[in-house]
Amino acid sequence: MRYAVIRGEGYTLVHVPDFVRHNSVFATLEKRLDTKSAFLNELPKSLRSFQEVVEYMPHQVYIGEMPPEDLRHYELPWYDKPADNADRFGAYGEIMSQDEFIGVLKMADVFDLIRLEKEFVTKIRKKLMQHPLFNETKLRRLKEGEAEENIEYHIKNMKAMPLIFNDQIIGCVKRGHEFDPNLTAEVLFENMVTKASGMLTAWNLLDRNQIDVAEIDYVIECSESAAGDMNQRGGGNFAKAIAEGIGAINASGSDTRAFCAAPVHAILEASALVQAGIHRNVLVVAGGTSAKLAMNAKEHIRRGVPVLEDMVAGFAVLIGENDGVNPIIRTDLTGKHTVSTGSSPQAVITSLITAPLDKGGLKLKDIDRYSVEMQNPDITRPAGAGDVPEANYKMIAALGVKREELNQKEVATFGEKYGFPGWAPTQGHIPSGIPYIGHAHKAILNGEIVRAMIVGKGSLFLARLTNQFDGVSFILEKNKGEVEDHRDQKVSEEEIRKMMAMMMKKIAEELLEEETNEY
């Protein structure tokens, strides 16, 4: 079977404390419910500095500067235990500041929806000139900026959304239509955040893996955002927009949506396209979602925890043809939560974990690492949601006991041996399985592990269309060095002549045999 491989990854985080205060769904609803919200007045005291988010250990794991296993050496909470020698740039990506990202938002803007003040543009251009990803060509997209009075006019008279940095209005997001509820400034802001963070993540992938953007011939975007107008809500297409934004001139693209499970669906779709020979290199990318900012902020602040949901996260993986080196995606060993699966924990784990293993004659212990919903317990436990990865590992282990592949004593240590503490930000689609792909890629190439299972789950009932939820999984495996792509093999003219001669000889012999039989 011709398997596709993971060629490279990109992971980015953007620190956006002012978006939390002024532009998030959380803040907007709070203002609507209580114009004198005491909670919003208290919020600034619980926001982190950029240095604090860089030193936060789960963030260092996310960008590839710290192995996920190392988190087990530290007791929760982690927010008060800064990492030593932390760097904003990592093996897989980076942690970007809010002012820099506002500049990237403008670079992603092709409809002139984002207006930035002149002095701010001047400052941010100088700052981004020092960034390794940005050159003069990209920075031309910032344009020159505008006068303060022009920005104020759009905010006061045209229902534009203010963009605030350090308590000063430095720009705005314009609405896209006078009446369309899907083209308000607030909705367009969310969509632009998704597009811009997707572009940033793709640029990081290309830069760190030394990949020519012209090699990409298809893009699949798999975030939780939806772009469209009042006549076709969610029609898309983020993928084509990101492809244009990063300069992937040979690419087309489309969006895949399945809530948190979408990235795993998208990776399987990309693998199928490569295996079928339709495309050679498919970029799977998901920008972040500003709608998920500060979801649990009230519970965190009540318990004296900093607002940890102050990050916009992105991820990207490049799927390519088998090169005999990079980890293969075992598309013949996939799991899926079907309509008939049911919602019991045993049924879900069977469909996503053991069913694909049974296809390949594998046991639970034949998988070296399981990447489930890697939600950060620093965030989920104070919010009352418990430790999500730990709960998943216990369910997997319990099923292993029932299948007589584990003994009862191994249930308590299964997660420690075959999994990790969670480190992903609560951005919906980001935690489900995919944060480990970069680490798995490295571990497989280094010979530390042979197989890893990536599991994605999604809450479809959130759309009020079905009570079902979703799930899908696949196995990453060490490449055996067998390259099975024969499309580039050419047959010489001499070989064609020989084949034609053999065919003519065979035809002549068959005709002679028929004539002999007649007599």
Pure H helices in 332-452: 345-349, 355-359, 377-380, 388-402, 411-418, 437-445
Tell whether 444 is covered by a domain. Answer: no
Tell whether 440 is covered by a domain. Answer: no
Q: For residues 289 and 257, what is the distance between their CA atoms, to the nearest angstrom? A: 13
Express as a percent the part of the chain with pLDDT over 90. Answer: 84
**Contact present, 122 and 156 (Cβ < 8 Å):** no
pLDDT averaged over the chain?
Answer: 93
pLDDT over threshold 60, residue 490: no
Tell whether 327 is covered by a domain. Answer: yes
pLDDT over threshold 80, residue 144: yes
- Alpha carbon 67 to its chain's center: 19
Q: Which of 143-157, 265-279, 454-468 has the lowest mean pLDDT?
A: 454-468
Instruction: Name the 3-class secondary structure at 416.
Output: helix
pLDDT value of position 494: 66
Mean pLDDT of 30-56: 92
Tell whether 470 is covered by a domain. Answer: no
pLDDT value of position 493: 59
When pLDDT is cut at 50, 70 and 90, the band that residue 514 belongs to is: low
pLDDT over threshold 90, residue 54: yes
Tell whether 213 is covered by a domain. Answer: yes
Tell whether 23 is covered by a domain. Answer: yes
pLDDT value of position 115: 97
> Domain range for residue 332?
4-340
Write out pLDDT tens, residues 193-234. Answer: 999 999 999 999 999 999 999 999 999 999 999 999 999 989
Tell whether 349 is covered by a domain. Answer: no
Mean pLDDT of 50-68: 98
E-strand stretches of 281-431: 281-286, 311-321, 328-336, 369-371
Total domains present in the chain: 1
* Separation in Å, CA 460 to CA 64, 187, 236, 286, 365: 31, 21, 19, 18, 31
CA angle 268, 465, 180 (to 5 degrees): 95
pLDDT value of position 487: 46
CATH code assigned at 273: 3.40.47.10
Mean pLDDT of 242-257: 97
Write out pLDDT tens, residues 376-429. Answer: 999 999 999 999 999 999 999 999 999 999 999 999 999 999 999 999 999 889
pLDDT over threshold 50, residue 320: yes
Which residue did the predictor score with more confidence, 33 or 377?
377
When pLDDT is cut at 50, 70 and 90, the band that residue 160 belongs to is: very high
Write out pLDDT tens, residues 164-183. Answer: 999 999 999 999 999 999 99
Instruction: Name the 3-class secondary structure at 171.
Output: strand
Write out pLDDT tens, residues 297-319. Answer: 999 999 999 999 999 999 999 99
Tell whether 49 is covered by a domain. Answer: yes
When pLDDT is cut at 50, 70 and 90, the band that residue 484 belongs to is: low
Express as a percent the part of the chain with pLDDT over 70. Answer: 95
Mean pLDDT of 64-87: 97
pLDDT value of position 488: 46
Pure H helices in 49-147: 50-55, 57-62, 98-107, 118-129, 136-139
Q: For residues 232 and 182, what is the distance between their CA atoms, to the nearest angstrom? A: 9
When pLDDT is cut at 50, 70 and 90, the band that residue 31 belongs to is: confident
Instruction: Name the 3-class secondary structure at 151.
Output: helix
Write out pLDDT tens, residues 96-106. Answer: 999 999 999 99
